[in-house]
Chains A and B, each alone.
Chain A
Amino acid sequence: MVQHKINPKVVALLSVIPGFGQLYNRRFLKGISFFIIFIAFITFFYQFLNIGYWGLFTLGEIPKLDDSRVLLAQGIISLIITSIAVTFYILNLRDAHKDAVKIQKGIMPKSFRENFNDGWDKGFPYMLVGPGLFILIFVVVFPLLFMVFLAFTDYNLFNSPPKYLLNWVGFENFISLVAVPIWRSTFVSVFSWTIIWTLVATTLQIALALILAIFVHDSRIKFKKLIRTLLILPWAVPAFVTILIFAALFNNDFGAINNDILIPFFGEAIPWMTDPFWAKVAIIGIQIWVGFPFVFVIFTGILQSISKDMYEAADIDGATSWQKFRKITFPHVMFATAPILIMQYAGNFNNFNIIYLFNQGGPAVRGENAGGTDILISWVYNLTFEAQNYNMAAAISIIIGLVIAAFAFFQFRRTSSYKEEM
C-alpha cells in the first residue's frame, strides 16, 4: 500500500506547518486535524497574543487607557499559551518524523484504530494529569510569575495604575533592599525572628504532638477514643476564629488569662501584648495550640502501625522506655513523616494569619522598624496593603520564596519518598 519513498527530513521540514508532514506520510485524518487545530489556534489567539506581548514589553503607552497590571497579566498568559503551543508543536514534529522513519524502515503504519489504542495507552497518564495541570498552571504558576515580574517594575502608591503606567526597572528594587539602610536593617531583623519563630514554633508543635501521641498510645491509658477526639478539636475550629479569641484572652489588663488565671493563682499579670518577649511566647503558644492536632493524628496512625514485635524484642533485651523511644519509636516516626514535617516548617515560615490576626505584628520595638512579632510575610502584607509598596513587597516575596524553596528542596531530597522516585 505504501510504496512511495519517504524522507524523514522532508517530513520534518514540511511539519513546520503542522499537519503537512502527516499528510505527506499519508496520514490524512491526523494531518487534517492537526492543520485545523493549528489554524484555529492562530486565528483565535492572534489578537490576544499580539496585545499580550506588546503589553509585556511596553507595559502600555497611554496612562489611564492602558492598565499596566492587566497588560502584564495578559503578557504572562500569552507566554503560558505560547509555551503550551510550542510543546504541542514539537510533539507534532516528532510525530511526523517518527512515523516517517518507521515508514522508511518499512514498518507498516498501524491502522487508525490500532493507533488510537496505542495512543490511549501511552497518553492515558497525560489525560489524567492534563486537566489538573491546566488548573495548576493558572492558579499557581501564573500568579507566581506575575509577582516575579512585578518585582522588576516601579509599582508603588505614587506610581500606581490605572493613573500611571508601570516601567521596567531591572534589579533596582533588589538593589535598594541591600543598599538602602532602612530596608536592609528591617529585612535582617525581621528575617532573624522569622527563622527563630519557624524553628521554635514548629518544633514544639511536633514535640507536643509526639508526646501526646505516645502517651495516648500507651496501653495503660483508658478512654483513648474520647481523648483523641478532644485533642483534635483545635483543628476543627477555624484558625482565624481561634486566633482572634486568643488575642482577646491575652489582653494585658482585662484579658481572661491574666485576670482569671494568672492573678488569682500566681498573683502576677504578664504584659502579653506590650512586651515583645511575652508577645512572642504567646504567639508561639497559640501556634502550638492550633497546629499540633494535625501532626498528632499522623503520629497516632504511625504508632498504631509499628509492629509490636519490635517492642517485645526490646523488652526481652531489658530496654528502658527511654531506650525504646530513642531506638524504635523516634526514628520510625520521623523517618516516615519527613515530607509532612518539612511542609509544616514551610507553612509556619509563611504563617501570615496568626501574626496578623493576633496583634498585627506588634508590639513596637524601639529603634526597629518592624513590630516585635512581625515575620517576613506579615511585613510583606503591610508593604502591600498598607504602604502599597508593591514592587518591594514582590521583591521580598521572591526572596522569601527562594529561601523556603531551597530549604524544602534539599530536605525533600533527603527523604525516603523522594528517593524512591529516583
Chain B
Amino acid sequence: MSRKNKSVLQVIGMYAFIGAIILAILYPLLWTIGLSLNPGTSLYASSMIPDNFSFVHYKWLFFDPASDYLLWYKNTLIVAVITSISAVVFVTLIAYAFSRYHFIGKKNGLYTFLILQMFPVLMSMVALYILLNMVGLLDTLTGLILIYIGGAIPMNVFLVKGYFDTIPKELDEAAKMDGAGHFRIFFTIMLPLAKPILAVVALFNFMTPFMDFILPSIILRSPEKFTLALGLFNFINEQFGNNFTRFAAGAVLIAVPIAAVFLFLQRYLISGLTSGATKG
C-alpha cells in the first residue's frame, strides 16, 4: 500500500471515529430537546421527534402563575455572577501569594486543602446547616455563595498559580526596581497577562450554581429562593410530582446559555486551562 493511500485511510479512520463520538454526544442532547417538545408529561409516551410539536412546557415555565422558573433563573444568575466575581478576586489574590511570595504554609498548604477536599462531604452538610443557622445565613443566597466560593478556592488557586508561574518573574522584579508596590505589580502586570485563566475561573464558578442541586437542597428552604438546579430537580422528585418532559424543557433552557458562554470562551478555555493545569 502506498504511503499516500495509507494516509488517506488514516484520515478516513480518524473522521469516522470523531464522527461516531460526535453522534454519541448529539444523540442524547437532541433527544432531550425532542422530549421537551412533547405535549404530555410521560417519559415513555414521548418520542425524539414528537408527532405534534408543542411548546406547552416552555409556556408553562414562563407564564404559568404556579411556575417559579423565572425567579429561580434570576436567583441562579445572582448567585452565579457574585460567586464568579468573588471567586476570581479571592483566587487570584491567593494564587498571587502562592506564586510570588514566601510564607509559612506555602509548601504544603495548597495540596493539603486539595486533599482535604477529596474527603466525601455528604455527611458534612449537616455541619454547614448548623453553621449557617448560627450566623443567620440559612435559607439565604449569601450563605450559598460563601460556601461556593470556599469550595472553589483550592482547585482554582491551583490552576491560577500554575498560570502565574508561567509569567516570567523578571517582569515583576523589573517593576519592583522601578518602585512599583505589591498591588501595582499585581494589577498592572499579573492580571492583564493572566486573562485566559481568569476567564476559565470565572466560567467554572459561573457554572457551578447552575449545575449543583445538593447544596441548595440543604441550605435553601423557601421556594422563592431556589436555584434552577434545585427547582428543576424537584420536578422529577416524587414528593413534588413527576414531570419529566417539563424537566427536559427546563433543562434545555439551562444548557443553552451555558453552552453558549462556554463556546464563546472556548479559545480562553484551551489556552488558560492548559497553562494553568500544567507547568507550561
Contacts and interface: CB of A to CB of B under 8 A. Distances in A.
Interface size class of A (residues with CB under 8 A): 35 or more
Nearest to A226: B22
Contacts of B114: 343, 408, 412
A405 B147 CA distance: 22
Contacts of A147: 119, 123-124, 127
Contacts, number: 264
Given A125-B102, A229-B263, A237-B255, A256 B24 contact: no
A394 interface: yes
B121 interface: yes
A14 to B, nearest CB: 26
B14 interface: yes
B210 A238 contact: yes
A228 B48 contact: no
A113 to B, nearest CB: 15
A285 to B, nearest CB: 9
Contacts of B14: 215, 218, 220-221
Given A125-B97, A231-B25, A298 B274 contact: yes
B78 interface: no
Contacts of A346: 118
Interface in A235-262: 235-242, 244-246, 248-249, 254, 256, 260
A228 B102 CA distance: 40
Interface stretch (A2-10, A180-188, A272-280, A376-384): A376-384
A175 interface: no
Given A236-B262, A241-B32, A409-B115, A230 B25 contact: yes
B73 interface: no
Given A136-B153, A138-B150, A404-B119, A237 B269 contact: no
A412 B275 CA distance: 18
A390 B150 contact: no
A70 B118 contact: no
B247 A244 contact: yes
B94 interface: yes
A350 B22 contact: no
Contact of A384 (B117, B123, B157, B259): B123
Contact of A73 (B11, B91, B131, B151): B131
A302 B278 CA distance: 8
Contacts of A221: 11, 14-15, 18
Contacts of A121: 182
Interface in A371-393: 376-377, 380-381, 384, 390, 393
Contacts of A245: 28, 31-32, 35, 248, 251
A191 B271 CA distance: 38
B280 to A, nearest CB: 7
Nearest to B182: A124
Interface in B237-280: 244, 247-248, 251, 254-255, 258-259, 262-263, 266, 269-271, 273-275, 277-280
A222 to B, nearest CB: 9
Given A73-B127, A305-B274, A393-B123, A233 B21 contact: no
B262 A232 contact: yes
A159 to B, nearest CB: 15
A146 interface: yes
B210 to A, nearest CB: 6
A247 to B, nearest CB: 10
A109 interface: no
Given A73-B127, A128-B94, A405-B115, A298 B255 contact: no
A408 B118 contact: yes
A352 interface: yes
Nearest to A249: B28
Contacts of B162: 417
B120 A237 contact: no
Interface string A400-413: 11001100110010
Contacts of A319: none
A141 B275 CA distance: 29
A143 interface: yes
A336 interface: yes
Given A136-B154, A352-B122, A126 B29 contact: no
Nearest to B258: A236
A317 interface: no
B169 interface: no
A-B pairs, top 3 by smallest CB distance, nearest first, are A301-B274, A139-B150, A143-B124
Given A70-B130, A121-B182, A124-B97, 19 more contacts: A69-B126, A73-B134, A131-B90, A135-B90, A135-B153, A138-B150, A139-B146, A139-B150, A140-B113, A140-B116, A144-B116, A212-B21, A232-B263, A232-B269, A236-B263, A241-B251, A249-B28, A337-B277, A377-B122
